[in-house]
Amino acid sequence: MIWVMINCFAKKMPAGVKGYVRENWGAPFIVGFMLLLMVAAVSLSMSLTALADGLAIAAYYALVAGVVLQLVCFLKYNKKNGEKHHESS
């Protein structure tokens, strides 16, 4: 599902953004979180509390999905690059 979303938007994105999104799968969800939260704030300022609540909940789920996907990407690319992190003393 993520690849379908990325491929749909990839045709309209500049090359630098395409590479960033391919390496950071959670980025679109985190951007979506920020947009949803801003729309929720505007809705709340217009006294549309039910809409603001729904948007805030959707924003939270987008944030959770984005953070989980970022963690997956971090672990995937960390292993792929063969980087080993040592504790410094």
| Averaged pLDDT, groups of 10, the chain, 89 residues long | 61 71 85 95 96 96 95 83 54
Distance of CA 40 to the CA centre of its chain: 17
Whole-model pTM above 0.85? no
Q: Could you tell me the CA-to-CA distances from 10 to 16, 17, 54, 82 in Å, in that order?
A: 11, 8, 28, 28
In a domain, residue 21? The reply is: yes
Query: Given this model, what pLDDT does residue 77 score?
Result: 78
How many domains is the chain partitioned into structurally? 1
- What is the domain range of residue 30? 15-78
In a domain, residue 65? The reply is: yes
